[in-house]
Amino acid sequence: MKKYYITCGDLEVVTHANTGPKAIFIALDKLGQQKVEKLNSVVRVSERGHNSHTDDDLFLLADMFTLWILNKNWKGTIDGLPE
């Protein structure tokens, strides 16, 4: 597992995960535990710290939030819809 620094507006989380997107999901899980007044439209994932680096990965918050919600509510049905 790698150490990731997730930054999105006021949200700053340091976590361990197998991939950057999984680290974002962990950060979103911790969203209610921090005082966050503002989020940006882009989530920055870094292995070097919360400051901006040229090799950071950037993800759209809306896309990651949607995937996080779907991941939380997935019941294993083929179409993903409740029966």
pTM: 0.83
| pLDDT tens digits, one per residue of 32-54 | 888 889 999 999 999 999 999 99
| pLDDT tens digits, one per residue of 5-23 | 999 999 999 999 999 999 9
| pLDDT tens digits, one per residue of 64-80 | 999 988 887 766 555 55
Tell me phi and psi for residue 33, to 5 degrees: -90, -5
